[in-house]
Structures are given as structure tokens and as C-alpha cells.
Amino acid sequence: MKKYAAVLIILLLCVLQTYGHTINYQLDRDSNGSVFLKYLLLGYEHIIPLGFDHILFILCVFFLNTSIKKIVLQASMFTIAHSITLGLAMYGIIKPPTNIVEPLIALSIVFLALENVYSSKVKPWRMVMIFIFGMVHGMGFAGALSQLGMPQYAFATALISFNVGVELGQLSIILFMYFVVAKTFSGKPWYRKRIVIPASLIIALIASYWTIERIFFTA
């Protein structure tokens, strides 16, 4: 009798183990969807409301344009660039030092803001500059994402969804500024003098402070 009971217990454990694997597989599959949504939101939050430096960069892109096509084109160039370095950094191919990357991010904002002051139109080489600066910002995104941690079983999903969230955050800023500011004021003769230049100077001052702070006062 004890022999049969032992066999029955073994069979029962086998059944439970098989059922348990089935449940884990279901949880893993659901987790991929949860991971995508979680990191999508984290990517969005890294721009709005947490990414004030990245917001200022996108505003610099916005203020020298009155055409939504040109704004989106430059923002897309920025996205492609930061996607490259974000991916390389997260897969361990490059290891950018934070103490260099963060000041460079701030300095890129200063540079772009001052160009808005001294240039009244988009020049061809600006696209190259935005691409280079985008690669620097991607390294900054990688630093933030590394601190959050990445699920090894859904690494690619988390990386892609975070990047999509960042892009959605950027597009939110662009569309808001376009419909609230550009469509209303860009046709006015005083638009550049009263809005573009003052806003760009304020951005340059803020980013200059960040540059100094990140070089000399950040451990």
C-alpha cells in the first residue's frame, strides 16, 4: 500500500511540475507585454516631466523652424542618432563615462540655442550637428536606463519600448509647441525678435549653468 502511495505521490508531483511550467510560460508571455508598457512609460517620463535638459534641446530644434516637416525631420535625425548610441551602450559595446557625457549634453544645448540667436534659418550642416548631439544624448539615455535596470528575459523589448517612449515624449513637445506657439505667432513680424531670440537666450543661460555645474560640482 505504501508502495502505491509513493508512486501516486510521484505521479502527482510530475503533474504539478508540468502544470507549473505551463503557468510560468503564460506569466513570461504576459510579462513581455507588461515590460513593453512599463518601459514605454519610463521612456516617456524620461522626457516628460523628468528630462528637462532633453526638453530644452527639442525646444532649440523647434525655435529655428516654422515648418512642422522640418521640425519632425530634425527630431527624427536626433532619434536615429540617440537610438544608435543607446543600443550600443546598453549592449555593452561602448561604455561612455557619465562625467563626460552629462556636461556634453548641456553644452550641446548651449550650442544649439546660440545658433538660434545668430542664425535666422536652418542651414544644411545643422542636421549633421543634431545627429552628433543626438548620439551624445543617447549615451545619457543609456545611463538613466542602466540605473533603472533591464529584465534579462525581455532585454530587447525593454530597450525598444524605452526608445519608443522617448520618441513619443519628443513628439508631444513638438506638437504642443507647434499648435500653441508656431501656428499662432510664427507669421508675426516680431516672432523671432520677441519669442525665438529671448527663449533661446534663456535656454542658453540655463544650459551654461548646467555645463559648469556638471563639470565642477558633480561627483
pLDDT score of 12 more than 50: no
pTM of the model: 0.81
Amino acid at 128: V
- Residue spans per domain, the chain: 2-216
What local confidence, expressed as pLDDT, does residue 147 receive? Answer: 78
145-162 per-position pLDDT tens digit: 787 777 777 888 888 899
90-112 per-position pLDDT tens digit: 888 998 898 999 999 999 999 99
Q: Is the dihedral of CA 63, 68, 71, 75 positive or negative?
A: positive
Distances (CA, A) of 75 to 22, 69, 140, 194, 198: 44, 10, 17, 24, 22
Distances (CA, A) of 219 to 31, 97, 148, 190, 207: 37, 12, 20, 43, 18
